[in-house]
Amino acid sequence: MVDLSDDVRGLIEDANLAHFVTLMKSGAPQVTPVWVDHDGTHVLINTAEGRQKALNLKREPRVALSVVDRNNSQRYVQVRGRVVQTIGGEEAYQHINKLSKKYSNNPNREYPRREGEQRLILKVRPDHVFYRPGARRD
């Protein structure tokens, strides 16, 4: 478990996308762009029951993610860790609404509820964090 620095929290609090990796049954990686949040300690991702990410995580909790500053592509964070808790129900809906408002920059923009969709908060414990404030390393 590694602390999230103020810089890393700031990068996540701004409306920057994360690229979130889970592992397929075969062990091969899969990566998708997602909204991202934190609770001070964990990185939070919101997905839905039945998505490939959610299916993969039932087998294998190890994940990784990277977040680049949308206004400065040389500033980014890479995280490796594992999903230590999955939260569904109303809390997950409130959370996706929070993200919808953040990424649309519109405090009234709730996330559309879809028939039968079960939202999930994925709580990622960061085990390794690399933060790059400046020059590119590709």
Least distance CB 3 / a copy of itself (angstroms): 20
Question: Considering only residues 54-93, where is the footprint of a copy of itself by CB under 8 A?
Answer: 62-66, 68, 70, 73, 76, 78, 80
Give the integer Cα–Cα distance in Å for 48 and 54: 7
Separation between Cα atoms, residue 65 and residue 16, nearest integer Å: 12
Say how far apart CA 88 and CA 103 lie, in whole Å.
Answer: 21
Count of C-beta atoms within a 10 Å radius of residue 100:
17
35: contact with a copy of itself by CB under 8 A: yes
- Which amino acid appears at position 131 of this protein? Y
Tell me how far, at minimum, the Cβ of 90 lies from a copy of itself, in Å.
19
Residue ranges that bind a copy of itself, judged by CB under 8 A: 17, 19, 21-24, 26-35, 46-47, 62-66, 68, 70, 73, 76, 78, 80, 99, 103, 137-138
